[in-house]
């Protein structure tokens, strides 16, 4: 018999955020959250994020660790025109390929910005490792690039969004993870034991517990996640039944 619903190997991703300004706290990263949501929507599992400084050895080491481990690696930051923009050169070094000014990018920059001189700084943005495909961004300017399983994007969120949209149609995607959120109306500590039992009884479903506080006091969101719609529904029902049992117990009434 065929098994149309048999899960295929998951598509995974790592993210490498490059920039001193994130590590000093001067700039607050907004790209991790955006890319995380985007990957989830595509059915790609974002498994790891690293943030490193504008230091070539650190970028090369992190990139090599991530690219051998995940289906895709996305990078953000360090592809601008100044001396601290060393991502493209670091990626070339990680892949062991030459890098030079790419005539395709020069052409794009000349067309888009005929009034801006193509000086040494701007030509830095045209440096692309040999063998890379461009990740164009329409009229926004210099493109990102894609080499092997690594997609190199800008750090400025609006430009990064355009590059991600541009690369996305070419990504292998997985079976999308579905999720259901159940508000517990209970403190995490009051339901944790029973929730652990539900999680153990539903090993193919991820069950997360996220405490929060609002004006009514401490509460907990329980998030059930699965690629299988039936297993998701069964686990959600088990969570709801567990919550009803706990509420009865807390109210001191066995039935």
Q: Hey, how many other C-beta atoms are within 10 angstroms of the C-beta on 129?
A: 24
**Size of interface with its own copies, in residues (CB under 8 A):** 68
Stretch that binds its own copies, among 50-58, 131-139, 144-152, 164-172 (CB under 8 A): 50-58
- Long-range CB contacts (within 8 A, 24+) of 39-42: 39/13, 40/176, 40/177, 41/176, 42/168, 42/171, 42/173, 42/174, 42/176
User: Whole-number minimum distance, CB 109 to its own copies, in Å?
Assistant: 9
User: Whole-number minimum distance, CB 38 to its own copies, in Å?
Assistant: 8
Which tokens sit at 138?
């329409």
Q: Is 133 in the site for its own copies (CB under 8 A)?
A: no
Our separate counts of H helices and E strands in the chain read 9, 11
- Cβ proximity of 147 and 132 under 8 Å: yes
Stretch that binds its own copies, among 99-107, 163-171, 203-211, 229-237 (CB under 8 A): 203-211
Q: Hey, how many other C-beta atoms are within 10 angstroms of the C-beta on 79?
A: 27
Q: Is 242 in the site for its own copies (CB under 8 A)?
A: no
Q: Is 157 in the site for its own copies (CB under 8 A)?
A: no
Binding test (CB under 8 A) with its own copies, winner from 60, 162, 163, 191: 191
Q: Half-sphere exposure of 112 toward its Cβ, with a 13 Å CA cutoff? A: 16
- Cβ proximity of 70 and 48 under 8 Å: yes
Subset of 15-44 contacting its own copies (CB under 8 A): 17, 20-29, 32-40
Subset of 113-132 contacting its own copies (CB under 8 A): 116-117, 119-122, 124-125
Q: Is 235 in the site for its own copies (CB under 8 A)?
A: no
- Taking the least distance from each CB to its own copies, the nearer of 151 and 222 is 222
User: Whole-number minimum distance, CB 24 to its own copies, in Å?
Assistant: 5
Residue 59 host element (H or E):
helix 56-67
- Taking the least distance from each CB to its own copies, the nearer of 97 and 178 is 178
Binding test (CB under 8 A) with its own copies, winner from 97, 134, 140, 156: 156
How do beta strands 144-147 and 45-52 pair? unpaired
What's the CA gap between 205 and 238, in Å, rounded? 12
Q: Is 228 in the site for its own copies (CB under 8 A)?
A: no
Beta strands in 37-191 (DSSP E): 45-52, 72-76, 99-101, 127-129, 133-135, 144-147, 150-153, 178-183
Q: Which residues bind its own copies (CB under 8 A)?
A: 17, 20-29, 32-40, 45-54, 58, 80-85, 116-117, 119-122, 124-125, 156, 177, 179, 187-193, 195-196, 199-200, 206-212, 223, 225
């Amino acid at each position: 018999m065929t098994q149309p619903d048999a899960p295929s190997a998951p598509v995974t991703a790592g993210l490498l955020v490059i920039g001193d300004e994130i590590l000093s706290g001067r700039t607050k990263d907004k790209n991790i959250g955006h890319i995380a949501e985007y990957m989830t929507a595509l059915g790609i599992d974002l498994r790891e994020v690293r943030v490193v400084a504008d230091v070539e050895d650190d970028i090369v080491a992190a990139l090599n660790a991530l690219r051998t481990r995940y289906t895709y690696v996305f990078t953000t930051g360090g592809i601008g025109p100044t001396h601290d923009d060393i991502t493209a050169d670091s990626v070339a070094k990680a892949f062991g390929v030459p890098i030079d000014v790419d005539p395709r990018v020069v052409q794009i920059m000349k067309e888009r910005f005929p009034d801006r001189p193509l000086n040494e700084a701007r030509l830095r943005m045209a440096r692309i490792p040999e063998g890379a495909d461009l990740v164009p961004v329409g009229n926004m300017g210099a493109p990102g690039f894609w080499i092997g399983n690594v997609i190199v994007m800008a750090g400025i969120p609006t430009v990064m969004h355009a590059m991600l949209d541009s690369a996305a149609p070419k990504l292998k995607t997985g079976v999308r993870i579905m999720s259901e959120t159940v508000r517990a109306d209970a403190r995490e500590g009051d339901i944790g034991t029973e929730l652990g039992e539900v999680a153990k009884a539903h090993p193919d479903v991820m069950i997360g517990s996220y405490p929060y506080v609002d004006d009514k006091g401490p509460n907990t969101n329980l998030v059930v996640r699965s690629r299988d719609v039936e297993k998701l529904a069964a686990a959600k029902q088990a969570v709801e039944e567990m919550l009803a049992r706990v509420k009865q117990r807390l109210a001191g009434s066995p039935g």
